[in-house]
Structure 1
Amino acid sequence: MTVEHFLTYLQHEKRYSSHTLQSYKTDLLQFGDFMLNTFELTLTEVKYVHVRNFMVALMDDGVSENSVGRKLSTLRSFYKYLLRENAVAMNPMALVKAPKVPKRLPVFVDELKLDELLDSEVLFDESFASQRDKLVIETLFGTGIRLAELLLLKEGDVNFYESTIRVMGKRNKERIIPIGRTLEELLKDYIKLKTLQNFDNKTELLFVTDKGAAAYPSLIYRIVQRYLTYVSTQDKKSPHVLRHSYATSLLNRGADLNAIKELLGHASLAATQVYTHNSVERLKTIYKQAHPKA
């Protein structure tokens, strides 16, 4: 029973993305090398104490609690699989507890600043690249979709009649997200402009490079970082910050938490509840500024 068998299971049975599979593979290879070099053990010979040694070594190397927790999550899934396949007699992860991770509030940009950015006639001109960049920001903030979901969007996923977009999320779960009139008009104009470019590489994908090839992660990161610099002094400027901004804006305007969960494509409500902390902090600020007894 090898790591490759496990990864094949995750790919075909669990339908994990290629990004997640690569992450699992990296974690397992690192763990396997540590066990072999430190204890001369194979993965099926590992005991609880060996996993603990691996954890300590990671922490001593300065690996963050989040990363250690993720690696342990990979190992839990792996040994659960091995146990079910009778490849091991006992699960070495049964007594392992992940290190406590300090809670961090999601980083977001104020919606008024984002509106100011997107309404700017100075930052965005009529060129294809500029209109694409604007659409990237508008789509991420206007729908809250993930970077991977943005890159997979096709022109046919936009339903102008229903004012919605179809998004393929994690584990191939499809969801429908409503879009506002501003984003809808921007999408129409962009698709027309894209057609007029007469790119040699024809693709159904919505977002493309200046030469018509499929957009890629680092391109989207650069676009987001470039434009958020104009309205935010925060160190973190990423597509996920705009996803956080989308969720926080909805919550601040009274949206139901379950509805936000569905819009974001979260598997559980617990993942969505993190945004309530931002709202509580906002209420505290308002209280301190406005109440005479604050």
Structure 2
Amino acid sequence: MEPSPGWRALIEEYAAHLDADRGLSAHTVRAYTGDLRELATHLQREAPAVTLPALRGWLADLTDEGAASATIQRRVASVRGFFSWAEAEGHLAADPAARLKAPKKSRRLPKVPSGEALGATFGSAEARAAEEGDAIALRDLALLEVLYSSGLRVSEACALRLRDVDRDRRSLAVFGKGGKERTVPVGVPALAAVDAWLKRRPEVARPDSPDTVFLGARGGAMDPRVVRRVVHEATRAAGPGAETGPHGLRHAMATHLIEGGADLRSVQEMLGHSSVATTQIYTHVTTERLRTAYRQAHPRA
């Protein structure tokens, strides 16, 4: 989806302001306008109006998709500058980003659910699907399985198309950031859960439904906010300390692969990271776990 003509015209006018009035470099102008085009596309798809909660929702999506803290801070700066200018120029009556704050940089290691917590999560979701017997419970179970099995970002899971599922090769064709395509493996339990949901998908689908694997309860496109809610509710039901979000499942998949002996480059390719440096955070997670186990178990630690 491209920004609407109105958005494009406003962004181009702002770019001219950054160039002529503020004297920013061409590289910086491209970075800022790229951020704004991404925001415009998100708002057209996800939000009926440009409000502070809608802007915060965009930041939440970026966080769930694993964007670096520095990247999010730059995008906040881009957005705040743009809307402040738009208000000053009379394009907007009020600045919706005036109270938008950049998140604090964090050096904490990602919180990774344990294998036991994940087992409880999937067991609880399976029990709910069997008990309720409705299509949405099956969709939620399939969504959980795919997010953990293949480590997809929220946006990638929402965009996964029916034709992207290759049962013979047990793989998914995934379109990640920048439209880059990659093929990732998917586990047997996840495929079984997807097939169980797809048998009931026609109960939810409408004639104008998208050709995506996952649909909203009314047959429309899957909302990223619903994905986050499904994951949080399912993991919370597994017991104290088990709650996490979609990116927690992605963290868990990568961490468990590395703990199981997978090489860093393979995990990088599966996650769709452009740099192996981004993937190295998971080696820090496993190293920290090793230190903890050593301190707890070694008699002379």
Q: TM-score, normalised by structure 1?
A: 0.69
CA distance in 1, matches of 2:86, 2:217: 48
CA distance in 1, matches of 2:189, 2:169: 14
- Taking the TM superposition and a 5 Å limit, the aligned residue runs for 1:20-59 are 27-28=77-78, 30-31=80-81
Rate the CA distance shift 1:34–1:235 in 2: closer, same or farther, 3 A. farther
What is the CA-CA distance between 1:277 and the residue it aligns to? 1.4
2:152 match: 145
Contact 1:248 1:275 in 2 (8 A): yes
CA distance in 2, matches of 1:148, 1:210: 17
1:174 match: 181
CA distance in 2, matches of 1:259, 1:108: 19
What is the CA-CA distance between 1:232 and the residue it aligns to? 5.4
CA distance in 1, matches of 2:79, 2:178: 23
- Taking the TM superposition and a 5 Å limit, the aligned residue runs for 1:282-293 are 282-293=289-300
User: What per-residue deviation string (whole Å, max 9, x for no partner) do you get for residues 6-40 of structure 1?
Assistant: 8996699x799734877877633523677999xxx
Contact 1:128 1:194 in 2 (8 A): yes
Contact 1:3 1:25 in 2 (8 A): no
1:130 aligns with 2:134: no
Question: Which of 144, 148, 171 is equivalent to 1:164?
Answer: 171
User: What residue identity is the alignment partner of 1:27?
Assistant: A
Paired residue secondary structure (1:286): helix
- Taking the TM superposition and a 5 Å limit, the aligned residue runs for 1:250-289 are 250-289=257-296
Contact 1:138 1:183 in 2 (8 A): yes
CA distance in 1, matches of 2:135, 2:41: 35
User: What per-residue deviation string (whole Å, max 9, x for no partner) do you get for residues 83-115 of structure 1?
Assistant: xxxxxxxxxxxxxxxxxx441201221122112
Q: Could you tell me which runs of 5 or more consecutive residues in structure 2 were left unpaired when the two chains were aligned.
A: 1-11, 17-25, 43-57, 59-73, 88-97
Q: Could you tell me which runs of 5 or more consecutive residues in structure 1 were left unpaired when the two chains were aligned.
A: 38-57, 67-100
1:211 match: 218
User: What residue identity is the alignment partner of 2:77?
Assistant: D
Rate the CA distance shift 1:277–1:232 in 2: closer, same or farther, 3 A. farther
1:18 aligns with 2:29: no
Contact 2:164 2:173 in 1 (8 A): yes
CA distance in 1, matches of 2:212, 2:100: 40
User: What residue identity is the alignment partner of 1:122?
Assistant: A
Rate the CA distance shift 1:229–1:236 in 2: closer, same or farther, 3 A. closer
Paired residue secondary structure (1:287): helix
CA distance in 1, matches of 2:265, 2:159: 25
1:105 aligns with 2:155: no
Paired residue secondary structure (1:167): strand
User: What residue identity is the alignment partner of 1:115?
Assistant: G
The alignment yields a C-alpha RMSD, in angstroms, of: 3.6
Paired residue secondary structure (1:177): strand
- The size of the alignment, in residue pairs, is 238
Contact 1:16 1:170 in 2 (8 A): no
Question: Which of 108, 114, 118 is equivalent to 2:118?
Answer: 114
Contact 1:147 1:239 in 2 (8 A): yes
Contact 2:113 2:244 in 1 (8 A): no
CA distance in 2, matches of 1:286, 1:162: 37
